[in-house]
């Protein structure tokens, strides 16, 4: 039985990193990237710990194993991950000063648990855990990651802006 909760132990953060590593482009064939999607950013344990201290991440667990995650990345971490700096810059040009939002820094589900509602439930849990303090969740998806874009639109994300950064095209999207 899969449970959904916020991270509470370092071991859960370590399991997030392992799942992340398995789904980075360097770990996947071209066919897998197209069919299954991929994650773009590789975090360090220290980064996940710092983010967790401000806002614990959302995870899906089957028994004691993390099988999915949605990272909570407060805007105060805008400078922490270089590849995400352009996203935060784009967000700042679109939101009003004082508007509260949380960035979903990355979402990933273990291959064996895909197409079983885990993605949707991670976002439902994130919304319920973060509101009303953070009424909007914002993220970006590499436009080449069609599977991820379709999944985000299916749970209610709306387009904010398409932009280019570091030789990639990104779709900035939000869930209100």
The number of distinct structural domains making up the chain is: 1
Token digits of residue 167: 């030789």
β-pairing verdict for 58-62 and 101-109:
unpaired
Classify 42 as helix, strand or coil.
coil
Classify 138 as helix, strand or coil.
strand
- Residue-level pLDDT, tens digit, the chain, 176 residues: 999 999 999 999 999 999 999 998 888 888 888 888 788 888 999 999 999 999 999 999 999 999 999 999 999 999 888 888 999 999 999 998 889 999 999 999 999 999 999 999 999 999 999 999 999 999 999 898 888 899 999 999 999 999 998 788 999 999 98
What lies within 8 Å, CB to CB, of 123 at 6+ separation is 70, 104, 107, 137, 155, 175
pLDDT for the residue 176: 87
pLDDT for the residue 151: 92
The CATH number for 57's domain is 3.40.630.30
135 with 95: CB under 8 angstroms?
Answer: no
Domain ranges, residue 6? 2-175
């Amino acid at each position: 039985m899969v449970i959904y909760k916020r991270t509470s132990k370092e071991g859960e953060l370590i399991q997030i990193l392992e799942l992340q590593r398995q789904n980075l482009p360097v770990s996947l064939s071209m066919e897998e990237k197209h069919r299954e999607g991929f994650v773009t950013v590789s975090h360090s344990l220290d980064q996940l710990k710092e983010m967790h201290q401000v806002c614990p991440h959302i995870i899906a667990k089957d028994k004691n194993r993390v099988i999915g995650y949605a990272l909570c990345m407060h805007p105060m971490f805008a400078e922490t991950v270089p590849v995400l700096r352009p996203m935060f810059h784009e967000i700042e040009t679109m939101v009003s000063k004082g508007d509260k939002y949380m960035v979903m820094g990355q979402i990933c589900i273990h291959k064996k648990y895909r197409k079983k509602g885990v993605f949707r439930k991670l976002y439902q849990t994130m919304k319920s855990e973060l509101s009303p303090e953070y009424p909007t969740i914002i993220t970006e998806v590499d436009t080449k990651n069609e599977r991820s874009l379709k999944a985000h639109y299916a749970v209610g994300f709306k387009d904010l802006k398409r932009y280019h950064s570091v030789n990639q095209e990104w779709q900035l999207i939000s869930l209100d």
